[in-house]
Structure 1
């Protein structure tokens, strides 16, 4: 099963900083820079780092497990509610959903979201990401190739508090992992057999923290090549998202 989705001005699923000026220090080929000289600036996690003894890819797998557990009719990527931003959030990392615009949705439209987050949390936000799981005994190579499809040739633009962050070189994947797929999820109907399936996820994320009390603006803009989802006609995925994060 192919699941391709995710969220940003110049970007996907997606400005001005009111309270903080962040200075971005970008080193060499690092995809993420370290924001310094700002009281509220979070540290950006690089794709080769571990956090709480888990790899970046393992955190992506956790993000996808969180993401797939929501039923389609209440999925936060489609029906985001500020009041439910904290739903199913456990542990030290806070997950935020993507947004995908396609078809008749204007490429210039910016989707704005607000979320209240406890201080001390890290945040993992999907920008352009996809997951593929197999219920037909497909090979690992097949699962991986399908999982990567929607992220090829992607354009990614990200700003945190008006500071541009380069994420083009921070694409990461999960490797093959087991995902529990509920019967009623974003991509299948209620008759789909729930179960644990081999899966692979890949894409571009913003991973940063720990967050100190304050206000953060996270903006991203992305566009990716045409992707086929569940046998439907290929579509170009694109979005611009602006998150207002209030950390208390």
Structure 2
């Protein structure tokens, strides 16, 4: 029997919407009928874990039934190695969503080696793009991949050697619609060049909306519209963004392979 499909959300920079995206992905996949487990690896911030804690309290308080993934928080102080924690939480799951801390972390690096789908959310700006590749100040052309891109490349290479499996690296362009058009085009062109050199796919992520911050205290998601009270056009549009993002992950069906296998590429210097 094949093991679960690991979706690892990783970005060494904070403030990119990583945990919000991971929570919504875990709930959306649960709502679709998948058996989903989620592991929060950011023991200090614990955004994913707290979000789902709030969701549990809302279920109890309102007496409603909401899609709920199995979830836990990884704590290295307890002595359980990260690989053991991933095996444990994935034992009864089809999909495991892992939210890593927004910093370089040795356990996060190990989790990346388990990724079948590696998701790197970035804000649609050159500040966040610098995490993946350095851009020339005059031409906006990519000069070279960054340290993080090299880290991902090494992780993918090691996984291929150890497990004989490929990794689908997906870069999410979050908050696209609220930036100046010329800047958005330049970022898009640089990402396109990098994707060809380093080997990742680019898909649109979640927009910059107050909606997401308002959902956190109740642990609700954009799929829980009947429980949100007054719903506007913005909620509907954001829910569609979420659905398109999940489709963009191109995850394997329960009976078949992923629709968009990872591409291979050499890391250019």
Q: TM-score with structure 2 length normalisation?
A: 0.29
Tell me which protein shows more strand as a share of its residues: 1
Higher relative CO (Cα under 8 Å, sequence separation at least 6) belongs to 1
Tell me which protein shows more helix as a share of its residues: 2
For the pair shown, the structure with the greater C-alpha radius of gyration is: 2
